[in-house]
Amino acid sequence: MLTSLPLLSITIFLPLLGAFVILLNWGNKQTSLAMNARWVALWTSLVTWGLAVTLWWNFDASSSEFQLQDKFQWMPLLNISYHVGLDGISLPLFLLSAFLVPICVLVSWTSIQDKVSEYMVAFLVLETFLLGMFSALDFILFYLFFESVLIPMFLIIGIWGGLNRIYAAFKFFLYTLLGSVLSLLAIIYIYFEVGSSSIPAALVTPFDPQIQTWLWLAFFASFAVKIPMWPLHTWLPDAHVEAPTAGSVILAGVLLKMGGYGFIRFSLSMFPEASSYFTPMIFTLSIIAIIYTSLVALVQKDMKKLIAYASVAHMGFVTLGIFTADAQGIQGAIMQMVSHGLVSAALFICVGVIYDRLHSREIADYGGIVHIMPRYATFFMFFILASIGLPGTSGFVGEFLVLLGAFQANTWATLLATTGIVLGAAYALWLYRRVVFGQLSNPRLKGLTDLDWREKIVLGPLATSILLFGLYPTPVLILAEASVAKVIDQFNLALEVDGNLLVNPKKFLEVAYLRRGQ
Amino acid sequence: MTGFYIPDFSLILPEVFLALSALLILMEGSFVKKRSFRRSVHYGLLALGLALFYLIFQNEAGQSWVTFEGQIKQDDFIFFAKALILLGSLGTLAMSVPSMMKENLTSFEYPPLVLLATLGMLLMVEANDFIILFIGMEMQGLSLYVLAALQRDHPRVSEAALKYFILGAFATGLFLYGVSLMYGFTGATNFDIISSVIRAESVNDLSLSLFVGLIFIMAALAFKVSAVPFHMWTPDVYQGCPTPVTAFIGGVPKVAAMVVFLRLMASPFLLLYGEWQSLIIFISAASMIVGAFAALGQTDLKRLLAYSAIGQMGYVLIGIASGNDEGIQSVFVYLTIYLVMFMGTFACLLSLKGKTPEGVQEIEDLKGISLLHPRLSFILAVFMFSMAGIPPLAGFFAKLYVFKAAISAGLFYLAIIGVLTSVVASYYYLKIVKVMYFDALPETPSASHGQLLVLSPEIIVVLNICAAIILVFFLFPNGVLELAQRAALALPI
């Protein structure tokens, strides 16, 4: 019965419906309205999560095809359609988004006190855009969702953010917009090449290698800013520091993954020649990101900024893994994205918990809180270890697979990347020591209370899933396996052609067409 | 043509009707003792509405007629343009009611002048002859000069009106000179004859004077659409005129002028494509760049919107520069969406009181109003994001179609300039959102800060319709797309 419903579309647009319900209450200013908005948002996002799990249930992991597709003509004159579907690459990230939004709502339960309904509306709208972005199978639809994300995120940072929020919101918006507009032109070009804006059609269209370079660069501008890669990462620390806790959670948890998803779905799958041409550059940038931003993280005085830089380093592993074009590397990158989504979300919430109590993010203001907040210290310890990549946590699986994949591609790159893990342990453990251990020196800390039930409800599922995927990563890996194998097959197929042919695009195209049976 | 010739009046019935209505409203205002500004406006709205209704009723898809001995033409392209002009005038006239009443600009001449300007614009777009085009242009021009000077005892207003008049007259001069050169070479003012004369000779044999004439005509039109380098009047006039008048001057006439621009380039001068394309590319790129960068430092809202309009016209010109079917379609889609955004933005400004009696002037006047008027600020924010071209709002689709046209014509550099300037421009659109949402109310607000005018139902209707169109355009893009396609088919490209 369920399969006859357009279940995927319902999941995508349910949050929008919830947002609409909240909007209906506009106008009468009462505290009960804020409470209603919170509950509506919580229930909507929980039901969405439930639906997303149902999708997971109905998903056939052994197939590499796009599944649960919904399609209808959107702009028939232009051959642009509303087309959504999931495969093993998008589903993990889809689930991650649906999982993190209810957590965001709970995190903001008491810390957001003004314009509550607008805040919840922004989050629900953001959820629709994110879910739509990961499941879009039409270029125009993809771009629509990809860029729409900027509006709610801009408002979340700008309205509910910290002191320097306006600067951070503008920087976030303009930086990411600048990156993505070029990919719009690439999308239009592909549209004319393919004759429609369908992503599955574009995936089997071979592009002229020389054109590929330009298209690849256009997409690179967009995804490298989003993920973000060094040296395009400078918007991230500002945005993270100024955003409210839930904003940081969704930013680190999901928004960064849009870049990684784009790299796998578009750059690697559609432009294999260009991808292999640019792989040395990606490796270099990834390794600089891993080492340099880890070093930068070491000297941060602001907890959120430290975690933000750590995110850039972790994303370096993702890009490294993706462009190994190897099953272990890409699966590791997907695992790393899921894991980082959980771990960094948890770390930002941990910072948020003490920020809500003391209203300071300075590391120097803390110290010795293990004496007054033992439960908090335990959770924080666990997440710090997961961030380092301790075996038994999901962080280990991702990083290990990426390094395994990278080792086969480039030993030196792997060696350098591994130093990042050591540095990661250094900044994370040092942060933990300074905040949690030592003497309770700051008198203002005395009054802090330990985690309340709401915070435990928030941190519990995160800790459980990090542990679960650390011990038993198979659910994610099996989900991605078939689709990743398909991407790699196509990639290798394109590159099997003799290197000389790359110089002669016409002949190359003939061979490519032959191989793809067209 | 010999004998007694009776032209087909049924094709220009809306125009005749508008002219008569304007005169009637004028009579009513002069002779009826108990004058009512609002009643005159309602008569004007009724006339525009009926004209629009007849236009839609009379239209048949795919037909093309010429009448008045080939001087006036009627086809899908012109139908779309006329409908757009009538709708725009209708909306702008309706939304000006509360602020005109507040500023004591309740002269009964206002609605007839709007009607006459609209009539002029209709003539402009349906002209198939330079003489008719000139008459139409002057008719709308003169009505607009009077409208601009409506508040004539205010020094800033009279300065703006005078500037507008002098520069407008200058553009007219350029236009006439260009037309006379054109006539000197081809011996005709009729578009079809000019077109066939150009077709008869190869481009290399064409006389230089023809190109000079073409350039003069293009310069005059660039004046009317305020494209760089002929944009200087725009910020001053926008800022100087009373806001409801700015809303009219900046919206519909630009659409009409742009349609004429497109029509001239695509119909009589199509074969000179190679000659005019580079010029259009230049003015398009220059408009986008100036529009994006010059607006960054503006603190006056209307000046900011003026530069924004210059930039937006640059995007429309991309569509003309592509010179293909997609280009024509994108111009129509862009103009439609732009007109709606523009009217909506001004409707928002017209709903608020500012520091001075003239209404909202500075960006600062919007400080923190999201706390006072969540709905109004939400709607204005929607228009700002849409103007910046952020999906899923309509402005994104406008830009999408324009860039699509550019890529299909191989104008990659123009498209790249377009997307990059759109990022720069989004900064100042966001600035307005920021002032409304991120800033607190000023500590010592003026008494009228963020106060709403007594809103009349007319402006509320316009505001809500415009916001709804921009918000849900992505659900129903096909109606406009189909109309645009029909319009493009009517041109010989």
Average the pLDDT over A136-162 and give the result.
92
pLDDT of the residue at B150: 85
Contact B419 A74 (CB under 8 A): no
pLDDT of the residue at A29: 63
Residues 6+ apart with CB under 8 A from B7: B67, B68, B69
Q: Is the pLDDT of residue A509 over 70?
A: no
The model's pLDDT over B6-27, given as tens digits with 9 standing for 90+, comes to 777 778 888 999 999 999 999 9
pLDDT confidence band for A438 (50 / 70 / 90): confident
Contact B408 A143 (CB under 8 A): no
Q: Is the pLDDT of residue B198 over 80?
A: yes
Sign of the C-alpha dihedral computed for residues A195, A198, A200 and A206 taken in this order: positive
The model's pLDDT over B416-457, given as tens digits with 9 standing for 90+, comes to 999 999 999 999 999 999 999 988 888 777 777 777 777 788
Task: Determine the Cα–Cα distance for residues A124 and A18; give it in Å rounded to an integer.
Answer: 7
What is the total residue count of chain A? 518
Contact A181 B422 (CB under 8 A): yes
Q: Is the pLDDT of residue A146 over 90?
A: yes
Amino acid identity, position A386: A
Residues in B closer than 8 angstroms to A169, CB to CB, are 434, 438
Contact B477 A165 (CB under 8 A): no
pLDDT of the residue at A339: 93
pLDDT > 90 fraction of chain A, expressed in percent and rounded: 47
Q: Does A173 touch chain B (CB under 8 A)?
A: yes
pLDDT of the residue at A162: 82
ipTM of the assembly?
0.91
Q: Is the pLDDT of residue A518 over 50?
A: no
Q: Does A315 touch chain B (CB under 8 A)?
A: no
Task: Determine the Cα–Cα distance for residues A322 and A69; give it in Å rounded to an integer.
Answer: 26
Contact A342, A462 (CB under 8 A): yes
Task: Determine the Cα–Cα distance for residues A238 and B88; give it in Å rounded to an integer.
Answer: 43
Average the pLDDT over A426-437 and give the result.
90
Which residue in B130, B108, B99, B111 sits closest to B45, CA to CA? B111
pLDDT of the residue at A511: 55
Residues in A closer than 8 angstroms to B412, CB to CB, are 185
The chain B residues in contact with chain A (CB within 8 A) are: 374-375, 385, 390-392, 396, 400, 403-404, 407-408, 412, 415-416, 419-420, 422-423, 426-427, 430, 433-434, 437-438, 474, 477-478, 481-482, 485
* Candidates B400, B416, B427, B432, partner chain A, best to mutate (most A CBs within 10 A): B400
Residues in B closer than 8 angstroms to A192, CB to CB, are 407-408
pLDDT confidence band for A508 (50 / 70 / 90): low
* Mean pLDDT of the residues in chain B: 89
pLDDT of the residue at A28: 61
Residues in B closer than 8 angstroms to A181, CB to CB, are 419-420, 422-423
CA distances from A310 to A250, B75, B290, B482 (A): 16, 63, 40, 51
pLDDT of the residue at A2: 47
Q: Which residue of B lies nearest to A188 if distances are taken between CA atoms?
A: B404
Q: Does A23 touch chain B (CB under 8 A)?
A: no
Q: Is the pLDDT of residue A491 over 90?
A: no
Tally of CB atoms within 10 A around A195 = 11
Extract the tokens encoding B406. Answer: 């550019």
Q: Is the pLDDT of residue A492 over 60?
A: yes
The model's pLDDT over A82-94, given as tens digits with 9 standing for 90+, comes to 999 998 899 999 9
Chain A closest-CA separation from residue B423 CA (Å): 6
Task: Determine the Cα–Cα distance for residues B160 and B233; give it in Å rounded to an integer.
Answer: 9
Chain A closest-CA separation from residue B333 CA (Å): 13
> SS3 for B231?
coil
Average the pLDDT over B351-379 and give the result.
84
Sign of the C-alpha dihedral computed for residues B350, B353, B359 and B364 taken in this order: negative
Position with higher pLDDT, B371 vs A349: A349
Which residue in A27, A160, A23 sits closest to B372, CA to CA? A27
User: How does B212-231 read in b/e, with b if 16+ C-beta sit within 10 Å?
Assistant: ebbbbbbbbbbbbbbbbebb
> SS3 for B377?
helix
pLDDT of the residue at A515: 53
Task: Determine the Cα–Cα distance for residues A235 and A174; give it in Å rounded to an integer.
Answer: 9
pLDDT confidence band for A500 (50 / 70 / 90): very low
The model's pLDDT over B110-157, given as tens digits with 9 standing for 90+, comes to 899 999 999 999 999 999 999 999 999 999 999 999 999 888 888 888
Task: Determine the Cα–Cα distance for residues B120 and B139; give it in Å rounded to an integer.
Answer: 5
Instruction: Report residue B65: phi and psi, to 5°.
Output: -125, 155
Most confident of the following: A60-69, B27-36, B353-362, B374-383: B374-383
The model's pLDDT over A306-324, given as tens digits with 9 standing for 90+, comes to 999 999 999 999 999 999 8
CA distances from B249 to A117, A128, B84, B113, B244 (A): 39, 40, 15, 12, 9
**Residue B129 DSSP class:** B
Q: Does A278 touch chain B (CB under 8 A)?
A: no
Average the pLDDT over A379-402 and give the result.
91
Q: Which residue of A lies nearest to B482 if distances are taken between CA atoms?
A: A77
Q: Is the pLDDT of residue B374 over 90?
A: no
Which residue in A375, A282, A323 sits closest to A488, CA to CA? A323
pLDDT confidence band for A440 (50 / 70 / 90): confident
Task: Determine the Cα–Cα distance for residues B183 and B186; give it in Å rounded to an integer.
Answer: 5
Q: In the beta sheet, which residues pair with residue A75?
A: A80
Q: Does A188 touch chain B (CB under 8 A)?
A: yes
Q: In the beta sheet, which residues pair with residue B352?
A: B452
Contact A173 B408 (CB under 8 A): no
pLDDT of the residue at A516: 53
Looking at A419-428, A442-451, B66-75, B473-482, which range is the least confident one? Answer: A442-451
Position with higher pLDDT, A196 vs B203: A196
Q: Is the pLDDT of residue B273 over 90?
A: no
Position with higher pLDDT, B133 vs B273: B133
Chain B closest-CA separation from residue A148 CA (Å): 5
Contact B423 A181 (CB under 8 A): yes
pLDDT of the residue at B242: 87
pLDDT of the residue at A498: 45
Q: Is the pLDDT of residue B365 over 70?
A: yes
Q: Which residue of A lies nearest to B478 if distances are taken between CA atoms?
A: A75
Q: Does A170 touch chain B (CB under 8 A)?
A: yes
Which residue in A107, A128, A105, A99 sits closest to A117, CA to CA? A105
The model's pLDDT over A198-252, given as tens digits with 9 standing for 90+, comes to 998 888 888 888 888 999 999 999 999 998 888 888 999 999 989 999 999 999 9
Average the pLDDT over A176-193 and give the result.
92
The model's pLDDT over A94-112, given as tens digits with 9 standing for 90+, comes to 999 999 999 999 998 888 8
DSSP state string for A479-507: HHHHHHHHHHHHHHHHHHS-GGGGG-HHH
